[in-house]
Amino acid sequence: MEAIQNHFFNDLSVMLGRSLRHIFRSMDTVITVTIMPIMFMLLFVYVFGGAIQTGTDNYVNYLLPGILLIAIASGISYTAYRLFLDVQGGIFERFHSMPISRSTVLWGHVLTSLVSNAISVVVIILVALLMGFRSSAGVVSWLAVAGILAMFTLSLTWIAAIAGLSAKSVDGVSAFSYPIIFLPFISSAFVPTESMPEAVRAFAENQPVTSIVEAIRALLSGQPVGNDIWVALAWCVGIMLVAYFFAMRAYKKRV
């Protein structure tokens, strides 16, 4: 009897190639994902920005980390959507009835989410540069920023996987991302938390977005990062582990 070999990397590259084609053939999804955060950025910088006291003279610098998080939070809903279509359309079942490494069916989507969100992040940073964003960060700091954003993307992508695997309708698939998109508004992403009422402030200062935003902001402006980066990473890893656990449960229900 021939042994079944493990084809993990071959299968993963096929799955990744497939879903990368999906995003490169429908660049409109990338545009949709980047346009809303860019509009927010324009709105906050040129409309509200004059009235917001952040203690810095460059509000674009202050704002950018939060805008990037909003972009990622809306970007992952497309991962949920693509996963949902696979499950509904039957190609999921075809893959699972084939002699492949099964987990690659999910990992292909997860890695594609990293790539497509990286594209949106780069686009938004380019727009921010046009609007006056400047950074004194060195290569190491930029790598750290990229690392935090990648961790954030991964943790949210696994939440998206839960939605994509368990949703009953297309509307249900994207609904989960709205609360996540709004989290940055109740954080230090747009205004310092000192101006908020006590209860809101307590929430804002202790939710994951604030520590992630503060860590990225410090890295980009060449300030000492302090504890924020560890708190931020702990949040990302924690969310990722919990979401991964529930995504796997939803996945096992499907197969």
Partner 1 sequence: MLNNSIQVKGLQKSYKQLQVLKGVDFEVQKGSIFALLGSNGAGKTTIVKILTTLLKHDGGTAAVNGFDVASKPDNVRQSISLTGQFAAVDEILTGRENLIMIVRLRHLQNPRQLADNLLKRFGLTDAADRRVATYSGGMRRRLDLAMSLVGKPQTIFLDEPTSGLDPEGRIEVWKIVKELAEGGTTVFLTTQYLDEAEQLADRIAILHEGRIIANGTLVELKKLFPPAKVEYVEKQPTLEEIFLAIVGKKEEK
Q: Is 201 in the site for partner 1 (CB under 8 A)?
A: no
CB of 18 to partner 1, least distance (A): 6
The two structure tokens encoding residue 241:
């582990």
Q: How far apart are CA 199 and CA 202, in angstroms?
A: 5
Strand, coil or helix: 1: coil
Q: Which of residues 70-89 bind partner 1 (CB under 8 A)?
A: 89
The two structure tokens encoding residue 149:
């954003």
Ramachandran angles phi, psi of 28, nearest 5°? -60, -30
Q: Which of 40, 84, 95, 244 is close enough to bind partner 1 by CB under 8 A?
A: 95
Q: In the chain, where does DSSP find H-type helix? A: 8-25, 27-43, 59-89, 91-96, 104-130, 139-166, 170-175, 177-182, 198-206, 208-220, 228-254
CB of 171 to partner 1, least distance (A): 20
Q: Which of 42, 93, 138, 234 is close enough to bind partner 1 by CB under 8 A?
A: 93
Q: How far apart are CA 190 and CA 53, in angstroms?
A: 10
CB of 3 to partner 1, least distance (A): 9
Q: Pick from 130, 122, 116: which is nearest to 42 by CA?
A: 130
Q: Which of 27, 43, 98, 129 is close enough to bind partner 1 by CB under 8 A?
A: 98
Q: Is 130 in the site for partner 1 (CB under 8 A)?
A: no
Q: How far apart are CA 240 and CA 105, in angstroms?
A: 18
Q: Is 255 in the site for partner 1 (CB under 8 A)?
A: yes
Residue with Cβ nearer partner 1 (42 or 91): 91
Residue with Cβ nearer partner 1 (83 or 213): 83
Q: Which of 50, 55, 57, 97 is close enough to bind partner 1 by CB under 8 A?
A: 97
Q: Is 27 in the site for partner 1 (CB under 8 A)?
A: no
Q: How far apart are CA 226 and CA 187, in angstroms?
A: 18
CB of 90 to partner 1, least distance (A): 4
Residues near partner 1 (CB under 8 A) = 1-2, 4-5, 7, 10-11, 14, 17-18, 21-22, 25-26, 89-91, 93-100, 255
